[in-house]
Amino acid sequence: MMDRARAQTDKRLERLDKEIGRVYKSNPALLAIEREYAKYMASVKKRTDALYSDYINEKDEDIKKEKKDAYMGKLRALTLDNKEYKRLVANIAHVLAEVNQQALDISNKAMREVYALNYNQVAEDCREAGIEIDGKE
């Protein structure tokens, strides 16, 4: 049989899951940076599609390696070595850190309530069983 604290804990954890999900799904800064990143990566794809197609469709293995190197070089130039890409990644990290902190704050508040609820339930169960707690029976 599930005790009152466990039932309330389960309900609180379900609410917590939904609340944290909303933090990530509805944060305007996170949504904006995700759109900006997706737009940038779509432009990268557009700018590298021809090189990728040439590489994939090449039959001669020696030429294929050269085409792969050309594709990978262009991809790297537009991402890992690109100032705009680095700015986007840094912004994503910053926004995610803020959103993660919001989620952590929500979780920490909920956990205090859950711990107190379960502590009180254990104390009640002990008293009912005649077990001394905190110097009281």
**pTM as predicted:** 0.73
> SS3 string of 67-112?
HHHHHHHHHHHHCCCCHHHHHHHHHHHHHHHHHHHHHHHHHHHHHH
The tens digit of pLDDT for each residue in 80-125 reads 999 999 999 999 999 999 999 999 999 999 988 888 888 888 888 8
pLDDT of residue 1: 42
The tens digit of pLDDT for each residue in 52-71 reads 999 999 999 999 999 999 99
Domain boundaries, the chain: 28-118
pLDDT of residue 135: 61
Mean pLDDT rounded to a whole number for the chain:
92
Taking the mean position of all CA atoms in its chain, how far away is CA 116?
Answer: 28
Q: Which residues pair with 46 in a beta bridge?
A: none
